[in-house]
Structure 1
Amino acid sequence: MKSWRQRRVDVAPNGWPAHIHPVIQRLYAARGVSTPDGAEHRLARLHSPALLGGMDRAVALLIDAIDRHQRIVIAGDYDCDGATGAAVAERGLRLLGATHVSHVVPNRFVHGYGLSEALVASLDPTPDLIVTVDNGVASVAGVAAARARGVRVLITDHHLPGDTLPEADAMVNPNLHGDGFPSKALAGVGVMFYLLLAVRAAMRDAGRFPDGEPDLSALLDLVALGTVADLVPLDYNNRVLVDAGLKRMRAGKACAGITALIEASNRSVSTVTATDLAFAIGPRLNAAGRLEDMALGVACLLTDDTAIARRYAEQLSAINQERREMQAGMVDEAESMVARAAHVDAVGVALFDPGWHPGIVGLVASKLKEKLHRPVMAFAPAGDESDELRGSARSIPGFHIRDALAEIDAKHPGLILRFGGHAMAAGLSMQAAEFPRFAAIFDAIARAHLDDERLQALIQTDGELDYRDHTLDLARQLRFAGPWGQAFPAPLFENIFECASWKPMGTKHLRFQLRHTQGGAPLDAVMFSCYDGTPPPPRFRAAYELTVNDWQGRESVRLLITHLEAV
């Protein structure tokens, strides 16, 4: 049984225009936005790039490299944030006049994570400047290797720093200690975009654009995709970036690769939302980095040829389907492991199977975290003929997973070989023989920080919806409001319904006809991955999203149920 809680509206909505539905006003107010200003996502209201620490030095370094026609290599990462960030960097620098720009993305099975020594050694010819995107703050050895070869290094990253910083020539990261930038939530692609804005501003001030400055807003579709896919909090600044990128996509102005990925995922360009980016587009890019080589993903985002983009998108979709099948098998194994072992009593759950794929363990941890409402770490062999394990961690509110790893590292030096991450997700490496000891220590740390209340799964809703508000107009407004995402959650309502009829869809899904207890017409509803052969209760409380069903071009209201309990 899960506990239900309604989001509080502490300040009444005020000053909204009449065409904005009162429910929308209430939803914004429950997320801390009580006036229209907080929902007006104007690019002019972005925080200034000048507020980011290290920006002056980074800008000077890039302009010098551009002016001297030096070889600039963008060092990305093998997830969606890193791939979009690499594409933003390469496209943006070319717009700003760079003539020798290329990119490299580490292969997780060959180079490891970030700007590693192995990645630096693979660079041929030797570049003059390496610019990292979405990595680098922990690359002490990699930066040292680059500088030993006479290569300058500019780090752009958003990950939390460790105790030792690399000796880079410049570093831009909103999460460095003492950085005064108001938003700590920028994704790696967002940091790179901000750097480009600062370079353009410096060039503009120097009179470098007599015929008009380059339009960097053309990169916002990439910024939006990377920001949403990386699950960073959608504070106001990030909502401005994401909203602007989504509007470019809906207007048909996205790059060829993103357009092809939208089409390959059977979404409509004209109605694409942040949810589509998170659950359909982003996973297709991420799959390449998990199972093969993210170079394919970056190539898809860099091409301007529609036919080539579609071919890349088809390849990425095929890899994603392989990832889905592999993930399903690994999750089944993990659930069986939990069911038959002492892990069921653990507060901090650590799982390992020698047959698991290191690129998929993060998804296994995520699924188990949702099921158990516990922080979960899943491990697989590193796959490089060493005795190392690679693990991915996912956490729950109230337990900062990266800080937990830092605490373990401080108390048990040498147990963890490498680690890094965020509050809700992290990665680490260790020797395989240390796994049992680590699992016990991780459980003890979790027990020390998490009480029974935090271990109680919570369904947080926006309260009941009047039956008269189950309208297509409100569903359409909800679709394009937000943008909804991490820390700015999609609206979730709760009501008690009578189940007028139901039937399976496929083998795991259900379709319902529901009656609101207050009256009104029957409502179409669906619930995915819920059916085990047991009929649903005749009367239940449901948590649901009010959505637009546009099957075969005909729009209608549909409830998307995420949880139900008999009443």
Structure 2
Amino acid sequence: RLNAAGRLDDMTLGIQCLLADSEVEATQIAHRLQDLNVQRRSIEADMQDGANLSLDDIDVANQFAISMYQVDWHQGVIGILASRIKERYHRPVIAFADAGGGLLKGSGRSIASLHLRDALDLLSKHQPDLILKFGGHAMAAGLTIKQVDFKLFNHSFEAVVKSLITEADLESILEVDGSLDSHEMTFQVAQTLENQVWGQGFAPPLFCDAFKVVNQRVLGEKHLKLSLKKDSIVIDAICFNQPEFLPDQIQAAYQLQTNSYNGSQKVQLNVRYVVSET
């Protein structure tokens, strides 16, 4: 929610919330931040729909990188969009939005095998007039190009990425921390994990187990709310961006998390990847 202020409006709104002198003032600003975040989600959903339509016409399997631009995309949300597409296709992704004055502003996200900032630096050395400015680090970067140069950038970035990584690097590998005993799937364990500090190179635990799907229903036309059974326990689970029903027996990679709703605190599984057991 703090990030939403900077994406859609003015980042000082988030700072004002943190520095508020009273709970009343902080709450008022927090409600404005919440409204901005709801707006951000709506914009992101529309952009994702547009991106999916464009990706249907692209042979992603034979590409090393993805560069995308649509005239109505919002500058403040292209980084999130690039991240979503990168997670889906496991390729470096740069999404562009109109910056006015004949310019495009791009936001990129990368995979572990490609240092994105260095790739852009190499491209700028090969074609000094193509990228007007850029900056960032291994996993994320921003840049500005001329609108008329988008197609040239698309081809040039693809060539540079192809020269730096191999096809094997484009295969997504899911690393898990093994199985979790059913008696450890508790609210207290989930709370303990959430209270730790996780980050780049030190990801939160991802467990893997076999489950029976006891119940499932679609939320918001694109998420699955599940009841999963392991041994003698049945536990709630959520599987985001999965509108289709799962088979009765599954192998799932998941994170243990807390879920607070209407004053009730429960444990649930955040299912990140699933395959059929049969």
Q: Which bin holds the TM-score, normalised by the shorter protein?
A: over 0.9
Aligned counterpart, 2:52: 335
Aligned residues: 277
Deviations 1:47-105 (A, max 9, x none): xxxxxxxxxxxxxxxxxxxxxxxxxxxxxxxxxxxxxxxxxxxxxxxxxxxxxxxxxxx
Aligned counterpart, 2:276: 566
Equivalent of 1:530 in 230, 236, 242: 242
Q: Is the 8 A contact 1:468 1:520 kept in 2?
A: no
Aligned counterpart, 2:128: 413
Q: Write the letter of the residue equivalent to 2:157.
A: F
Q: Is the 8 A contact 1:338 1:344 kept in 2?
A: no
Trace 1:416-431 onto structure 2 (pairs within 5 A). Answer: 416-431=131-146
Q: Write the letter of the residue equivalent to 1:508.
A: K
For residue 304 of structure 1, report the CA deviation from its aligned partner.
1.5
Question: Is 1:444–2:159 an aligned residue pair?
Answer: yes
Q: Write the letter of the residue equivalent to 1:498.
A: K
Deviations 1:198-219 (A, max 9, x none): xxxxxxxxxxxxxxxxxxxxxx
Question: Is 1:479–2:194 an aligned residue pair?
Answer: yes
Equivalent of 2:15 in 283, 288, 298: 298
Deviations 1:420-478 (A, max 9, x none): 01111100011111111111110011111221221111221101122333334433332
For residue 318 of structure 1, report the CA deviation from its aligned partner.
1.3
Aligned counterpart, 2:219: 505
Measured in 1, the distance between the counterparts of 2:75 and 2:191 equals 40
Task: Identify if the C-alpha distance between structure 1 residues 430 and 469 changes in structure 2 by more than 3 Å, giving closer, same or farther.
Answer: same
Task: Identify if the C-alpha distance between structure 1 residues 538 and 342 changes in structure 2 by more than 3 Å, giving closer, same or farther.
Answer: closer
For residue 290 of structure 1, report the CA deviation from its aligned partner.
1.9
Q: Is the 8 A contact 2:254 2:270 kept in 1?
A: yes
- Look up the SS of the partner of 1:357 in the other structure: coil
Measured in 1, the distance between the counterparts of 2:264 and 2:15 equals 35
Measured in 2, the distance between the counterparts of 1:520 and 1:295 equals 50
Trace 1:73-152 onto structure 2 (pairs within 5 A). Answer: none
Task: Identify if the C-alpha distance between structure 1 residues 305 and 468 changes in structure 2 by more than 3 Å, giving closer, same or farther.
Answer: closer
- Look up the SS of the partner of 2:205 in the other structure: coil
Deviations 1:499-524 (A, max 9, x none): 222233343222222222xx222222
- Look up the SS of the partner of 1:453 in the other structure: helix
Listed as ranges, the gaps of 5+ residues in structure 2 are none
Q: Write the letter of the residue equivalent to 2:149.
A: E
- Look up the SS of the partner of 1:341 in the other structure: coil
Aligned counterpart, 1:319: 36
Measured in 1, the distance between the counterparts of 2:225 and 2:58 equals 35
Aligned counterpart, 2:66: 349
Deviations 1:345-392 (A, max 9, x none): 321111111222222211111111111110001111113xx1111111
Q: TM-score, normalised by structure 2?
A: 0.92
Question: Is 1:453–2:168 an aligned residue pair?
Answer: yes
Question: Is 1:389–2:104 an aligned residue pair?
Answer: yes
Q: Write the letter of the residue equivalent to 1:443.
A: E
Q: Decide which structure has the larger Cα Rg and report it.
A: 1
Q: Is the 8 A contact 2:228 2:237 kept in 1?
A: yes
Measured in 1, the distance between the counterparts of 2:28 and 2:232 equals 47
Q: TM-score, normalised by structure 1?
A: 0.47
For residue 314 of structure 1, report the CA deviation from its aligned partner.
1.5
Task: Identify if the C-alpha distance between structure 1 residues 302 and 549 changes in structure 2 by more than 3 Å, giving closer, same or farther.
Answer: closer
- Look up the SS of the partner of 1:311 in the other structure: helix
For residue 563 of structure 1, report the CA deviation from its aligned partner.
1.4
- Look up the SS of the partner of 2:145 in the other structure: strand
Measured in 2, the distance between the counterparts of 1:311 and 1:523 equals 36
Larger helix proportion, structure 1 or 2? 1
Aligned counterpart, 1:123: none
Q: Write the letter of the residue equivalent to 1:403.
A: D
Q: Write the letter of the residue equivalent to 1:434.
A: D
For residue 554 of structure 1, report the CA deviation from its aligned partner.
4.0
Among all aligned residue pairs of Structure 1 and Structure 2, give the percentage whose two residues are the same amino acid: 38
Question: Is 1:289–2:6 an aligned residue pair?
Answer: yes
Measured in 2, the distance between the counterparts of 1:297 and 1:395 equals 28
- Look up the SS of the partner of 1:382 in the other structure: strand
- Look up the SS of the partner of 1:499 in the other structure: strand
Measured in 1, the distance between the counterparts of 2:102 and 2:192 equals 53
Measured in 1, the distance between the counterparts of 2:228 and 2:23 equals 44
Trace 1:128-277 onto structure 2 (pairs within 5 A). Answer: none
Measured in 2, the distance between the counterparts of 1:557 and 1:341 equals 40
Equivalent of 1:549 in 247, 253, 259: 259
For residue 299 of structure 1, report the CA deviation from its aligned partner.
2.5
Task: Identify if the C-alpha distance between structure 1 residues 309 and 556 changes in structure 2 by more than 3 Å, giving closer, same or farther.
Answer: closer
For residue 303 of structure 1, report the CA deviation from its aligned partner.
2.7
Measured in 2, the distance between the counterparts of 1:313 and 1:455 equals 40
Larger strand proportion, structure 1 or 2? 2
Q: Is the 8 A contact 2:224 2:245 kept in 1?
A: no
Q: Is the 8 A contact 2:227 2:235 kept in 1?
A: yes
Higher relative contact order structure (alpha carbons within 8 Å, sequence separation ≥ 6)? 1
Measured in 2, the distance between the counterparts of 1:327 and 1:546 equals 26
Measured in 2, the distance between the counterparts of 1:475 and 1:364 equals 29
Structure 1's consecutive aligned runs of 4 or more residues displaced over 6 angstroms after TM superposition are none
Listed as ranges, the gaps of 5+ residues in structure 1 are 1-283
Question: Is 1:373–2:63 an aligned residue pair?
Answer: no
